[in-house]
Amino acid sequence: MQHRTFDVFRQQLRACALTAGETVVVLSESTSRSVLVETARLAAEDLGGHVLDVVVPTPANPGPVAIRSTGASIALQGNPATIAALCAADLVIDCTVEGLLHAPELPTILGAGTRVLMIANELPEAFERHAPDDGTLKRRVLAGLATMRAATEMHVTSAAGTDLRIQLAGAFTAGSWGATDGPGTIAHWPGGLVVAFPAAGSVEGTLVLAPGDANLTFKEYLREAVTLTIVGDRVTDIAGDNLAADLLRSYLSAFAEEEAYAVSHVGWGMNPGARWDSLVMIDKADTNGLELRAFEGNFLFSTGANENAGRFTRGHFDFPMRHCTVSLDGTVVVNDGRLV
């Protein structure tokens, strides 16, 4: 473990309002990245936390295809003792492989007042590059969140052909700057984005994934365009005479679940320090691509689990898209991939 990594973890836990005497659970799986688990535990202990390590077996994959980078962990299913331990903690440091963001047990944990920090399955250098700042990113995200919460419709367009409308009435909205400092809240680190989980049936239009946009389940950049038609909150057609479209059709159909085609969340990135091109230099096994979800000016479109619409599925895609224009009730907040 590098001293720099340890110092950054301490700073991040301070940003999560960790104080001496608080109970901290470091949650991990048998296949979690050990250096992150160990660094989180030592940093929490150094700040005076009463630390409990909870390690659960990485569950066997029941599906027909590999699952990667979804936030839809099933590691807690059928494990009431672990859930009780998490509910009793002041802070949970989530080092599970997929993360608890869409886990069915998360509402119970947050409802107990526990705050949860998701540590992405990244190499230590990713966290060293995303140390807490002076509060600028938090202020920026909160401003974006307030703007979105005041709007009734999000309209997304692009020169590639995207024309998507999202009704925000009944949506669950959230912003993450990488830290969680209030009871019953969750954040992921690295952070820097605002998202909306629309109510059922709130998304209509066309989404064109263009070359250079990222598919974070496959952990690769698209090289050919793929067009998604979305009707009543569902992807009803995947058009493209190319490998990228073929792979997307094949992977989604493998789940044999209607929910896998549904919209999960939409939003935009606000982190000026996050890099669109960071995926190029990292092997697939060494990243979940969280930095790409947060880079400044991206439009993030996701399919899969959406608790706000009453849907859970392990099939999940995150597509950070470049060169989109995002408007809220006619006011542009992202112009051709540039944050306004």
Q: Which pLDDT score, from 0 to 100, does residue 8 have?
A: 96
Which tens digits make up the pLDDT trace of 228-246? 999 999 999 999 999 999 9
147 is written with which tokens?
């703007």
* 220 strand-pairing partners: 215
169 is written with which tokens?
């009435």
Q: Which pLDDT score, from 0 to 100, does residue 333 have?
A: 98
Residue 339 above 80 pLDDT?
A: yes
pLDDT above 70 as % of the chain: 99
In 183-300, which ranges are continuous DSSP H helix? Answer: 243-254, 290-294
Residue 48 above 80 pLDDT?
A: yes
Which tens digits make up the pLDDT trace of 146-180? 999 999 999 999 999 999 999 999 999 999 999 99
Q: Which pLDDT score, from 0 to 100, does residue 3 have?
A: 81
Cα angle for residues 249, 253, 258 (degrees, 5° grid): 115
pLDDT greater at residue 61 or residue 215: 215
At residue 139 the predicted structure's pLDDT band, cuts being 50, 70 and 90, is: very high
Q: Which pLDDT score, from 0 to 100, does residue 74 have?
A: 86
Which class does domain 3-128 fall in?
Answer: alpha beta
Q: Which pLDDT score, from 0 to 100, does residue 142 have?
A: 96
| Cα 55 to Cα 97: distance, rounded to the nearest angstrom | 12
If DSSP codes are grouped into helix, strand and coil, which group holds residue 124?
Answer: helix
At residue 193 the predicted structure's pLDDT band, cuts being 50, 70 and 90, is: very high
Residue 63 above 90 pLDDT?
A: no
Q: Which pLDDT score, from 0 to 100, does residue 267 have?
A: 98
CB 240 within 8 A of CB 207: no
In one letter, which amino acid is 180?
Answer: T
The arithmetic mean of pLDDT across residues 298-324, rounded, is 94
Which tens digits make up the pLDDT trace of 105-125? 999 999 999 999 999 888 998
| Cα 328 to Cα 321: distance, rounded to the nearest angstrom | 18
Average model confidence (pLDDT) for the chain?
94
* 339 strand-pairing partners: 334
The arithmetic mean of pLDDT across residues 316-334, rounded, is 97
Residue of 24, 249, 252, 8 whose CA lies nearest to 131:
8
Q: Which pLDDT score, from 0 to 100, does residue 2 have?
A: 64
The arithmetic mean of pLDDT across residues 31-40, rounded, is 95
Domain assignments of the chain as residue spans, ordered by start: 3-128, 136-339
Question: DSSP character for 106?
Answer: H
If DSSP codes are grouped into helix, strand and coil, which group holds residue 279?
Answer: helix
Q: Which pLDDT score, from 0 to 100, does residue 69 have?
A: 67
CB 11 within 8 A of CB 44: no
CB 90 within 8 A of CB 114: yes
Q: Which pLDDT score, from 0 to 100, does residue 241 have?
A: 97
pLDDT greater at residue 66 or residue 339: 339
In one letter, which amino acid is 34?
Answer: S
